[in-house]
Amino acid sequence: MESVAEALMEALALVALTAPMCLLACLGLMGLIGRPPTEQITGRLVTAGFLTSTFAALGLIPALVLSGARQAQVELGTWYAFEGHALHLTLQVDRLSVPFVVLTALLLGVVGSFSHRYLHREPSYGRFFLLLALLGSGTMLVVLAGTADMAFAGWEMVGVSSALLVGFFYERPAPVRNALWVFVIYRLCDVGLFAGIVLLHHTVGSDSFHLLGAGRSWPNGVSTAPIGQATAISILFALAAMGKSALVPFSGWLPRAMEGPTPSSAIFYGALSVHLGPYLLLRAAPLLDRAPAAAALLVVVGALTALHATLVGRVQTDIKCALAYASLTQVGVIFVEIGLGFRLLPLAHCVGHACLRSLQILRAPSMLSDVHEVEAAVGGILPRSGIVLGQLLPTAAQRWMYRWALERCYLDALLDRCAIGPFREMAAAADRFERRWTDRLGGTEVSAAGPDPQPISGAKP
Amino acid sequence: MIESIFEFPELVPALLAIASLAVDRSLSVRAATRIGAGAAAAACALTVGGWQLGLPLESQGGHFTIDVLSRVLLPYVTFAFLCILVASPRRDRDPASLARLLLAEALVAALFSTRSPGLIAAFWALSPVPVWAALRARSRPAAQVFALYAGTSAALLAAGVALGSGGEDPSAAGVVMVALAILMHKGVMPFHSWVPVLFEKGAMWTALAYMLPQAGAYAVMRLLVPAAGALGRGPLWAIATAALATALYGAVLGVGQREAMRALGFVVMSQFALVLVGLDTVTSVGLLGGLTMWLSSGLALTGLGLALRALEVRRGTLRLDILSGGHDRMPLLAAAFLILGLASVGFPGTLGFVAEDLLVRGAIGTYPHVGIGIVLATALNGITILRAYLALFCGAREASSVAVGLKPRETLVLTALVLLLLFTGLIPGPVVASRREAVRAALHGAKLPPPPAGRH
Amino acid sequence: MNDSQAASRLQSALEHAAHLLPAQGPISVFVHHNTLHAFERMPFDTAVVEAAELYGTSPFLPEARYRQELARGRILRRDLLAVLDADLGPEAACQPVAGVPRRELRMAVLVNGLDAPRGRELGWLLEETDALRRPLEGLDAESLEKLLDSTRRWFLAELAGRGPEAMATLLTGEVDPGRAARALALELGIGPRRGDLEQLIALQAGHVAARTLWHASVRACGRVPYSRSVHEARSPRPRDLLHAATGQDPDELVDPLMIRLAASFLDQGLSYWPMPDREQGFWRGALGHLSQPAGSPESWQQSLPGEARRLLESGVDAVGSAIESLELLGVEAAEWSDFTARTLLPLRGWAGMFHQLEERPDRVPAHAPPARLADFLAVRLLLDRLAAEHVSRAELGDGYSAARLLAILEGRQSRGPTREERAFALFQVAQLVGLAAGDIDSMERPELVSLLDEIEWFDELERRRHFHLAYERRYREGVLEALAARAAASRANKGSEKRLQVICCLDEREESLRRHLEEAEPECETFGTAGFFGVAMYYRGILDAFARPLCPIVIRPGHLVTEQLDETLEDEHRRKTLVRRVLGRLRSALAVSSRTLARGTLLTAALGTLAALPLVLRVLFPRLAAWLRKRGQLLTRTRGRTRLAVDASETPAPLPGTRAGFSVAEQADIVGRLLEELGIAGRLRAPGPGPARVARLVLVLGHGSSSLNNPHQAAYDCGACGGGRGGANARAFAQMANDPRVRELLASRGLSLPADTRFVGAQHDTCEDAIYYYDLDGIGEEHAAELRLARHAMSRALAANAHERCRRFESAPLWLEREDALAHVEARAQDLAQPRPELGHATNATLVVGRRELTRGLFLDRRAFLASYDPHHDADGAVLSRILHAILPVCAGINLEYYFSRVDPTGFGCGTKLPHNIVSMLGVMDGHASDLRAGLPWQMVEIHEPMRLLTVVESPKERILGLMGPRDPLRRLVANRWIQLVALDPDTGRMHLFGETGFEPFEPPAIRLARVSHSFDWYRMRRDSLSCALVERRENEEAGATWSR
């Protein structure tokens, strides 16, 4: 009985992972050879892919319960191997991954179905589902990964699909600018993840999550890594998680990411993408247990984020940003929970929050009719609700705080001024130097820039 | 009959050289293209499947050999040149340019088929000539800059070889000279300033023809790695450090650029420097990573360069500080640009990811911080790529009704490159396996001292 | 200029600018209006082009789109020819240019189109493609033959006369023979030998023709310099100059801050924390906000807090500060007006909303902020000033100075197209009309000038204008032909007594319902009128939170009508209201607390997972979810007898400026006027036994639309009710008309309704195709048969209507069964993911004012507003004047808003719905910080055919002319041809079309209308717009027999 359950579990995990990937391959290849599928066929492929994944994911729950074991590793073989360095493909099925797999598959299915109708006749319909499949594959890879390397691969896929979906409406400049901003933050924070993995290899000698917890099932894993290294790795992982989950000081990208179509906002910033940070940290829980300093950092950053987001969220005047900051508030709280050493609580919190928030974001366009309905029920204008934090403060402080909240605590401006600006200056200075040098070598014409900048006229009336 | 004239290793360079002469004589663009493409395709076919002809793989006197290393490098180089030849726009395919391109290919093929230090030095000195000639036709000052570096590099290498590098008993001075020559040839800091000039002022093919074979890496494998046993890791370590600095410096400069061609130059410089980082770690995994990166970033950046050139002939100067639009008019070009760009910076699912992974793992065995440097450089290059994609293809729709989509030959090459990179990225086993012997052979020849204290 | 002069000058500048801003109010009271209302004083063709230039938008559809329509027969060649003739006049049309009649030249260009590649793109086209290697694709055989033949003859003659080297120069464009020979070899692989060249012309005549023609065109354009002036913008903003000079855009700095400030100032309750000090107005509120210490670290804002504090302390008002800013920016007083407009236009949505709320604070949903456009301008100018200074310092190293920037830009002005760009146009045109290189070369200079002038004048915009006129013409001819045929038939056929009459809204969506009603029940007659039925009122139902106005937007109603519950139900109602209130509060509390810190944590962690259930249900099973929701509502909503308090009562109305209910006299006025407009009064007054007078049962049918996921929902409701639902008006009207006191009063005015006539109010949901009848319990046995008949006919008509609507939804299969159509439209209404719950007014194109006989049975494809009017009972035109003044601006407003939103979906419309984000509960933005988007979303307009409203009035043309006074707004619409007006004489059937010189006779060809026995037979398996047909049931045929296939 148990062996059957285990075999079943392996098969189901494999199906849950590969279904979105097959979908991605199908849509991608058809596009690449110049025969993009019609809307109807795309719809069918998407439904088939995500449904398969959902059923497989749902099947994992009884399989995990029946098998009696609290975890299982699904060995898929070796991707490539060389002199003792091998990249093994292993899936980790346990009490952490299964809830996330179910959540991912379910939300992908729901959002896929929603978008099929919502994006009907949109010229970029095919591109949207290609990116959604990329997101699905990436997320599944992260949550099912048995090794940190695999998780990194998925992590990158999520990052690219997210940036491209922010820039989905590429005709307007704002989405394009914001897509680049999102990608820059992601990319720089991802350095943390890769560096963490490198260090993990160096310290533990393996990047298997299973071995990280000394083979014990989640959340009872115990690590034997030295405290110094464990702290360093945890902090690097935390950096990656902070980027992906838009924690302070990277929060500025979250409202910018609201440029995409509503369903993509729902699935990325309400549900899956922002919760990958907590997932990673939960995965690395054995290390965190040995790294109190890193845990303290999580508590501090999480608490700051929660306060920041709740303050900023209070003054947002558009529904998508209000929900984005509401989302961020909870993500901050989840980080605090993780930092405080809870394991099952943040897991439940993630799942619950993802469901609720994605429902709310999908309903965002119906907001006016919802408000009218509630007003009719209550029999009057809804009072301004929520205790205004500022009311406890003196008036001058209130004004000051309102300005700070409205400007989103200047996080983007600060990042720009303190990190990106100097960097840009440095690059520009180096470039000037380069040009002077080649000019000296070859005569003045070498680095003479192209024709004068001729900005595109008529972009704005 | 053929046997009496050529051994197999000489066959490909000779074929290309003859084709180059024929192309030079041909009158029209069409005829030149036909001959050139035929020769390049034949060269590619020979290097891929020519082993079956039964010709000796080593020429008389042992000057030319096809060994485990060149067995993969030759198909790579001939394929990349074939891509360049086929996908270049018509304005780059006049008989003179094509003749130079084929000559450059012939010289590279000859270089990659020899182990003899003297011949390496000779081909090393000759290979910039056609590129220089083509560059000179477009911009004399740029050609002058290029000639300064290429000439110095040729002289240094010749001197180094004369002092015994690559032989049984290398002298320290010789090795240093060889190392300097390699640094100049690969555009490693501080000898890199010609790279952006080459990309900005030359036609795309000149830059690619000179950079993509990565003759410098070849020289490392042939002249320096064998010397590691005798002289220790010092010189290699120095090169690796310089290369890592170059990778970071190029990445930083690339991010800040306003012109696409110059930015591509810096990305190429940065990514190709990573190959040297891998080779110079002289650990088996690092070497393997370097060799794989050699192929993956070479192919991806060749494709990226061709895509940029295709865009440039349609649009003129490509700028990164404004949004140019055009995604809907050239969807395939945009998609190919993005995929090739991501492949060149190691996006999962492409061969670049495998290469980067191996490279980092090889590096951390000996020097953990190198790994982090590599990751940072590719992260920055990734930003440059996405920024270029957004700036070049996104933005308001253009009103023009002219169909500017890819021509069939461009489509063919770009699609082939994309599929190749994706396929090898998903199933990297064969590629990795094919490089394994080269690595073993190299390490065997190196008679290495043990690596510095690491955990492995 | 002293202060007060300056202030009044600025005020008038503001007024001028305000006209140019979108006139869209808060989105929940969406009202359609002409997007270019400010330009109505100009003729349509000029106005759209001028406006397009001002706003940076597009006045017509893209040229390629029109050409597609030409290819599929939506535009015919003869339409284009007719437009060309009308434009040129018959003589000019035949006048030759370069030997080709002007008309043919233009026609060739229209049909084939010209590519206009610029710069490098042209280079690419010439170098890398076959553009010079073969003649144009799609060239007709005749021109091709002419071109090749002419080339061949010229080539051989030249070859004999000038020698091979000279030919090489002609073929390659190189002047130097040596280089030409090399280029020839490079391109063609041949040397300049006579034999080679003879062979070349023999074998590759097309290649030679194209190549030589191109070089000849370049030579020709070198001979004639470009003469058309290059347009330059007036009163450029600092942003325009800086952007042109440095590539940096100061608006990118200013806009986000401006948007945040405006949104939080106007917010209607979306944020928890309202903007402090907003009761002081935007100017002082924003200054207080911006003057906070420790402001933004952004470098351009460094001096902002100080500057804001200075202004705040100096007490200067918005106008004063705006003047100061204008002076600091160096704007001449004469330019203030244009400059102000240009300053407001980049964020015209927000500026427009400030203006709207300043003008009509009563339309604000919740909290009216003291909005003033001057405040907005002052803040904008302040920020513009600082940003310009910053950008100028950063990029040019010195403070902002317009003069210096203009000097920098002096040398960079665009000089019009290059020689090659012009030559490429000539190259294509020459091929189209069969001119070869020799013909061009031998042309005299004046001839060449006129040819180039002709080509350059007939540019893309001009071609699109021509296409547009032809596009309108094709539709117009089709409808008028059909109407002429129908009119002839209807004069022969007098109506008969009807058992059921239905008064509908004139809305074009009711056209199909009316047709299906009459198809289902021949004993039924329908009328159309503005859907508030003359009852202008504030209305509050028992389930409503507030009273809302239900009448056209131009009227401010003076009466309040409330719905009142039967006494027996009061207890239940009180109970249910309590439950509802508690549930509502709970729901809003949950929504709020899920977004807060502490409560949100508890809620999401503990209960969040439960949200998966509604998530899955509402997205995957929308109909099931809707059914469950309706079940749930039964518990909280009182159902049962209610009545409207229509009668004037003593109690004062709670709304200021209104009275509760209507007096009996007022009610009689309302009823009498409507009956008069519909023509029923005339019939009743007519002596003798007239045929169809008034039926025993008259259904008054208002309409509304219900849908989810639709911020623009109000735009789908009844326009005549100001974006509300017209059921209450219908119900009130029926109640008035049934009132014996009213009837008595009417009878005393000579209008006696039969005692057995009964009015019933109802509401049609145009999205779900459902109907709700009001006050049926008041109907006695004596009308039971009619009521049964009405309900039966109505339910069949609704199903047929739903089915007909489904053909336009691509997501409904064409082979959808009639039974499934209702389910399909219901599902659309209840689907959270559905961006097109219904198609709204899309495809509207016609307005017919006249008797129903004129249109009865005519398949008008849901594109016609149908207003009832009987020309025989209105000799003095008073009724017609009332009708036209009431409905024409409304219908033209709808039509023109659709027109502009369709021709430029992102410039005039608000783009695709997908990234829309509700902001401040006033409108939508794209993403998180964009302008407030006015206009209609793409999903509403995509199937619309943008054409001016074709208005057919059944009346002598003199009567129409007589009712438009000199300062009448209608006159502007008609005389400037923002609508196409046709007078159809009721007696003779003659038609007159209003053209540039007034009414001109129009003779549609007599046609035989296509005849089908059921609408279904006409539209089955077809998605596109359909032409007119006559739906007439043949004898002995069972209604709907075609259904039971």
**Do strands C949-954 and C979-984 pair parallel, antiparallel, or not at all (unpaired)?**
parallel
Domain borders along chain A are 2-367, 410-445
pLDDT, position B61: 66
Three-class DSSP category at C955: coil
| Chain B residues touching residue C129 (CB < 8 angstroms) | 407
Flag if B364 and A198 touch (Cβ within 8 Å). yes
DSSP state of A259: G
Structure confidence by residue, pLDDT tens digits, A33-58: 888 899 999 999 999 999 999 999 99
Most confident of A4-13, A189-198, A326-335, C684-693: A326-335
Q: 3-state DSSP: chain B helix, strand, coil percent, rounded to 5?
A: 75, 0, 20
Task: Count the Cβ atoms, other than its own, within 10 Å of residue A202.
Answer: 18
Contacts of B90 in chain C (CB under 8 A): 127-128
pLDDT at residue B35 in the model: 93
Mutant choice from B369, B394, B420 vs A, greatest count of A C-beta within 10 A: B394
Q: Does A306 touch chain C (CB under 8 A)?
A: yes
User: Which residue has better confidence, B270 or C487?
Assistant: B270
pLDDT computed for residue C494 by the predictor: 60
How many CB atoms sit inside 10 A of residue A81's CB? 15
Q: Under an 8 A CB cutoff, do C713 and A369 touch?
A: yes
Mean pLDDT of the region C823-852: 92
DSSP at C872: G
First and final CA of chain C: distance in angstroms?
A: 83
Q: Could you tell me if B135 and A432 are in contact, meaning their C-beta atoms sit under 8 angstroms apart?
A: no
Least confident range of A344-353, C75-84, C156-165: C156-165
Specify the DSSP class assigned to residue B259.
B
Q: A387: pLDDT confidence band, cut at 50, 70 and 90?
A: low
**In angstroms, rounded to a whole number, what is the distance separating the alpha carbons of residues C329 and C345?**
18
Q: Which pair of structure tokens corresponds to residue C126?
A: 């010439």
User: Which among B257, B383, B394 has the least Cβ separation from residue A187?
Assistant: B383
| Chain segment C661-710, per-residue pLDDT in tens | 999 999 999 999 999 999 898 888 877 665 557 889 999 999 999 888 88
The answer to whether C429 and C109 have CB atoms below 8 angstroms apart is: yes
For residues C576 and C573, what is the distance between their CA atoms, to the nearest angstrom? 5
Whether the predicted pLDDT of C141 surpasses 70: yes
How many CB pairs below 8 A link A and B?
Answer: 167
Query: Which residue blocks in A314-343 are alpha helix, DSSP H?
Result: 319-339
Cross-chain Cβ contact B148/A445 below 8 Å: no
Distance separating alpha carbons of residues B285 and B266, to the nearest angstrom: 26
Rounded-to-integer distance, Cα C177 and Cα C175, Å: 6
C1012: helix, strand or coil: strand
The pLDDT of C568-592, averaged and rounded, is 85
Q: How many CB atoms lie within 10 A of CB A280?
A: 24
Q: Do C28 and A359 touch (CB under 8 A)?
A: no
CA distance linking residue C971 with residue C888, whole number of Å? 11
* List of chains touching C (3+ CB pairs within 8 A): A, B
Q: How far apart are the first and last CA of chain A?
A: 72
* C373 vs C377: CA distance, rounded Å: 6
Percent of chain A with pLDDT over 90: 59
Which residues 178-217 of C have a C-beta within 8 angstroms of B?
Answer: 185-189, 191
Residue A451 has what pLDDT?
38
pLDDT score of C1038 more than 60: no
**For residue A456, what are its two tokens?**
């595109």
Q: Does B193 touch chain A (CB under 8 A)?
A: yes
Query: A453 and B394 in contact by Cβ < 8 A?
Result: no
Share of chain C above pLDDT 90, in %: 58
| Closest CB from B285, B332, B342 relative to A83 | B285
| Residues B233, B367: Cα–Cα separation, whole Å | 13
Torsion sign across C-alpha atoms B253, B259, B264, B265: negative
- Chain C partners within 8 Å of A369 (Cβ): 708, 710, 713
B444 touching C, CB under 8 A? no
The whole-number average pLDDT for the span C1020-1026 is: 91
Give, for C42, the enclosing helix (H) or strand (E): none
Q: Note whether C185 contacts B27, CB cutoff 8 Å.
A: yes
Chains in contact with chain B (at least 3 beta-carbon pairs closer than 8 A): A, C
Which residues on chain C are in Cβ contact (under 8 Å) with A260? 915
Q: What is the DSSP letter of C1033?
A: P
Shortest Cα–Cα distance, A351 to chain C (Å): 6
- Provide, for chain A, the percentages of residues in helix, strand and coil under a 3-state DSSP scheme, each rounded to the nearest 5: 75, 5, 20
Check: CB of residue C794 under 8 Å from CB of residue C517: yes
Provide the residue type at C1030 as one letter. Answer: L
| A384 touches C: beta carbon within 8 Å | yes
Encode pLDDT of C918-956 as tens digits: 999 999 999 888 999 999 999 999 999 999 999 999 999
Q: Do B142 and A441 touch (CB under 8 A)?
A: no
Q: Which of C136-140, C187-191, C650-654, C869-873 is predicted least confidently? A: C650-654
B147 Cβ under 8 Å from any chain A Cβ: no
Per-residue model confidence (pLDDT) at position A389: 58
Q: At what angle do helices B68-87 and B29-49 cross, to 10 degrees?
A: 160
pLDDT tens digits in sequence order for chain B, 456 residues long: 344 455 677 888 889 999 999 998 888 888 999 999 999 999 998 888 776 666 667 766 667 888 878 888 889 999 999 999 999 999 899 899 999 999 999 999 999 988 888 889 999 999 999 999 999 888 888 999 999 999 999 999 999 888 876 666 777 888 888 889 999 998 888 888 899 989 988 888 999 999 999 988 898 888 888 777 677 677 788 888 899 999 999 999 999 888 999 999 999 999 999 998 888 777 788 888 888 999 999 999 999 999 999 999 998 889 998 888 888 899 999 999 999 999 999 898 899 998 988 888 887 766 777 888 898 999 999 999 999 999 999 988 777 778 888 999 999 999 999 999 999 998 888 888 877 777 887 777 665 555 444 333
Q: Identify the pLDDT of residue B223.
A: 85
Q: C772: part of which helix (H) or strand (E)?
A: strand C770-773
Distance (Å, rounded) from C-alpha C731 to C-alpha C728?
5
Domain ranges in chain B?
Answer: 1-115, 116-230, 233-456
CB-hemisphere CA count at 13 Å for C47? 19
Query: How do C916-919 and C864-868 pair as beta strands?
Result: unpaired
Which H or E run includes C299? none
> Which pair of tokens denotes residue B230?
């005798």
State residue A456's pLDDT score.
30
CB A111 within 8 A of CB A132: yes
**Distance between CA atoms of residues C533 and C535, nearest Å:** 5
Average predicted confidence (pLDDT) for chain C: 89
Closest by CA to B97, choosing from B36, B12, B142, B39, is: B36
Q: What is the C-alpha to C-alpha distance for residues C500 and C497, in angstroms, rounded to an integer? A: 9
How is residue C647 annotated by DSSP?
Answer: B
Q: pLDDT-based confidence at A309, cuts 50/70/90?
A: very high
10 Å Cβ neighbour count for C719? 29
How does pLDDT run across C94-106, given as a tens digit for each residue? Answer: 788 888 899 999 9
Instruction: Choose among C284, B67, B348: nearest CA to A150.
Output: B348
Residues B216 and B185: beta-carbon distance below 8 Å: yes
- Mean pLDDT of all residues in C311-323: 93
Query: b vs e for B26-39, b when ≥16 Cβ sit within 10 Å of the residue's Cβ?
Result: bbbbebbbebbbeb
Of the candidates A442, A438, A183, A185, the one whose C-alpha atom is nearest the C-alpha of residue B265 is A438
How far apart CA C1031 and CA C859 sit, in angstroms, is 6
B354 and A180 within 8 Å at the Cβ level: the answer is no
pLDDT computed for residue C1044 by the predictor: 36
Task: Tell me how far apart the alpha carbons of residues B114 and B222 are, in angstroms, rounded to a whole number.
Answer: 9
Interval C482-497 mean pLDDT: 77
